[in-house]
């Protein structure tokens, strides 16, 4: 099972620098994909930010949201976030050397908790920390 970070989902559903690479990876991927329910809020936040900054129109944002919902319904298993996982993420963020932000620490703690074989991400800091904590980074 591969754990998918929200950065990959945003690139999959909107036009970004890495979209072509993500689409190529996604179309070739045969492994089970998972994330946690937190990615729904994080994805919506990213789409809202893209609208506020003029990167997406309202119609494009709606289209991205519908595509995201299709991915969640068909290709991505969304797991719950346990209360103890928030504490694990907090501990990860308290390590200043990790440079982890709260959302990324939560993704990493969830990947560890669910024993993911790999962490698919576009975030170099998250990938570095995943490797450090023995979750194989799949950097696209």
Q: What is the DSSP string of 95-134?
A: -GGG---HHHHHHHHHHHHTT-SEEEES-HHHHHHHHHTT
Which one of 1.20.1250.20, 1.10.10.10, 3.40.50.1010, 3.30.70.1450 gives the CATH number of domain 2-139?
A: 3.40.50.1010
- pLDDT tens for 10-67 read 999 999 999 999 999 999 999 999 999 999 999 999 999 999 999 999 999 999 999 9
Number of H helices, E strands in the chain: 7, 5
CA nearest neighbour of 140 among 121, 118, 117, 116 = 121
- pLDDT tens for 67-116 read 999 999 999 999 999 999 999 999 999 999 999 999 999 999 999 999 99
Domain ranges across the chain: 2-139
Place of tokens 């450090």: 132
Query: Is the pTM above the cut of 0.75?
Result: yes
């Amino acid at each position: 099972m591969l754990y998918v970070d929200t950065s990959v989902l945003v690139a999959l559903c909107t036009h970004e620098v890495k979209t072509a690479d993500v689409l190529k990876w996604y179309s070739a991927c045969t492994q089970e994909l998972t994330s946690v329910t937190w990615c729904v809020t994080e994805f919506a936040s990213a789409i809202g930010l893209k609208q506020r900054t003029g990167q997406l129109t309202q119609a494009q944002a709606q289209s991205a949201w519908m595509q995201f919902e299709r991915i969640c319904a068909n290709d991505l298993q969304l797991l719950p976030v346990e209360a103890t996982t928030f504490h694990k993420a907090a501990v990860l963020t308290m390590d200043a050397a990790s440079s982890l932000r709260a959302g990324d620490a939560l993704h990493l703690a969830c990947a560890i908790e669910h024993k993911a074989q790999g962490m698919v991400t576009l975030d170099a800091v998250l990938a570095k920390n995943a490797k450090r904590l023995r979750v194989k980074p799949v950097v696209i």
